[in-house]
């Protein structure tokens, strides 16, 4: 069994960190991730630096990375909120964009300042233009397992909106547990419905580890046949609604569990841990990845010996 991992630390991770990393440091991080085997990497976002200062310089970063030899095998992408963002993205020649929708009205209004319907109408144009330029498109759908403002979220709504993202032209939908409230039973129920609707190639799970359940949720997804997951190096990112909570599930933690299970990720554990150590020194805080903190077990390989 093999799993695709999309590294979102440079975008979803960093945009939720207090500290703003300079563009050169972000490029350095991207290079280290590519060297660790990351093959799908979201590098930045074409959003207003006034609102999201952490993503300032994304154009510069993308321009430096797209076409550079060290990223030859890496599918780079950038988040694009609207037509103007798409224009900026196209100037960097990034081959993949991502759009960001919400499963709930309240979060849509708070996060992107329009209703769900308005956002879909806007993205419809963006995706049409992107597809004409042969860009591939990832659709994020957030708050799929529970909403910070509305509480429980109806599974039928999540499935319907995910299907609309595919109809619109998204090659893949990333189903987000934005506030880290999902449990494995819910993942199995909603995941099965999503797989039926979208198929395995278009279904990606995006778990936050806010309450420690992310790896259990990945296991529940794997059991269903879902093989595409998002993660952030070192567990970068937080949650604006819970100050000391952790954000995205850490790439190292995902790779540790999967590789020990015999599920291939093609990522290089030792280099991920080196990148964690290096990043720790840049972020001025202890980052949440548990494998990052504990290190690899001594006398045990990452690949389990036959028993």
What is the binding site for a copy of itself (CB under 8 A)? 146-152, 154-155, 179-181, 183-186, 189, 209-213, 215-216, 218-220, 239, 241-242, 244-246, 250, 253, 256-257, 260-262, 286, 289-291, 293-295, 297-300, 304-305, 307
Q: Which is nearer to a copy of itself, 66 or 148 (CB)?
A: 148
Distance (Å, rounded) from C-alpha 203 to C-alpha 162? 9
Q: Which is nearer to a copy of itself, 139 or 247 (CB)?
A: 247
| Nearest distance in Å: CB 107, a copy of itself | 12
The DSSP H or E segment spanning 137 is strand 136-142
Q: Which is nearer to a copy of itself, 69 or 244 (CB)?
A: 244
Q: Which is nearer to a copy of itself, 36 or 127 (CB)?
A: 36
Q: Cα torsion for 147, 219, 16, 86, to the nearest 10°? A: -90
Catalytic residue among 144, 147, 170, 239: 239
C-alpha angle 26-30-36 in degrees, rounded to nearest 5? 145
101 burial type by CB count under 10 A (0-12 exposed, 13-18 middle, 19+ buried): buried
Q: Which is nearer to a copy of itself, 148 or 166 (CB)?
A: 148
Distance (Å, rounded) from C-alpha 146 to C-alpha 103? 9
239 catalytic? Reply is yes
| Nearest distance in Å: CB 196, a copy of itself | 16
Handedness of CA 177, 216, 38, 161 (dihedral sign): negative
| Nearest distance in Å: CB 93, a copy of itself | 37
Strand-pairing partners, residue 250, are 232
208 neighbors 216 (Cβ within 8 angstroms)? no
| Nearest distance in Å: CB 217, a copy of itself | 8
| Nearest distance in Å: CB 154, a copy of itself | 6
| Nearest distance in Å: CB 275, a copy of itself | 17
Q: Which is nearer to a copy of itself, 74 or 239 (CB)?
A: 239
Q: Where are the alpha helices (DSSP H) in 151-232?
A: 155-168, 184-198, 214-224
Backbone angles phi, psi at 186, to 5 degrees: -60, -40
**In which residue are the tokens 């909106």 written?**
161
Q: Where are the alpha helices (DSSP H) in 18-169?
A: 23-35, 58-65, 83-92, 105-112, 116-132, 155-168
131 neighbors 169 (Cβ within 8 angstroms)? yes
Please give the positions annotated as active site: 239
């Amino acid at each position: 069994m093999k799993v695709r991992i999309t590294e979102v630390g440079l975008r979803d991770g960093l945009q939720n960190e207090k500290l703003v990393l300079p563009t050169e440091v972000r490029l350095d991080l991207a290079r280290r991730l590519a060297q660790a085997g990351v093959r799908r990497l979201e590098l930045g976002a074409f959003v207003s630096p006034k609102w999201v200062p952490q993503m300032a310089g994304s154009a510069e970063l993308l321009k430096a990375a797209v076409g550079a030899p060290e990223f030859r095998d890496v599918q780079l992408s950038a988040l694009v909120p609207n037509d103007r963002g798409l224009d900026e993205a196209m100037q960097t020649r990034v081959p993949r964009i991502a759009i960001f929708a919400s499963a709930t009205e309240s979060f849509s209004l708070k996060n992107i300042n329009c209703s769900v319907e308005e956002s879909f109408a806007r993205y419809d144009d963006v995706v049409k233009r992107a597809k004409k330029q042969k860009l591939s498109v990832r659709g994020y759908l957030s708050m799929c397992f529970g909403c910070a403002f509305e509480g429980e979220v109806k599974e039928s709504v999540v499935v319907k909106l995910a299907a609309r993202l595919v109809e619109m032209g998204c090659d893949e939908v990333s189903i987000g547990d934005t506030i880290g409230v999902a449990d494995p039973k819910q993942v199995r129920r909603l995941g099965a419905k999503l797989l039926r609707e979208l198929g395995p190639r278009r279904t990606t799970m995006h778990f936050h580890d806010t309450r420690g359940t992310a790896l259990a949720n990945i296991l529940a997804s794997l059991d269903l046949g879902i093989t595409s997951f998002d993660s952030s190096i070192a567990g970068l990112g937080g949650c604006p609604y819970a100050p000391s909570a952790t954000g995205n599930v850490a790439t190292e933690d995902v790779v540790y569990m999967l590789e020990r299970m015999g599920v291939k990720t093609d990522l290089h554990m030792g280099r991920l841990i080196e990148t964690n150590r290096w990043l720790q020194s840049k972020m001025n805080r202890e980052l949440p990845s548990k494998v990052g903190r504990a290190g690899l077990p001594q006398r045990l390989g990452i690949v389990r010996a036959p028993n």
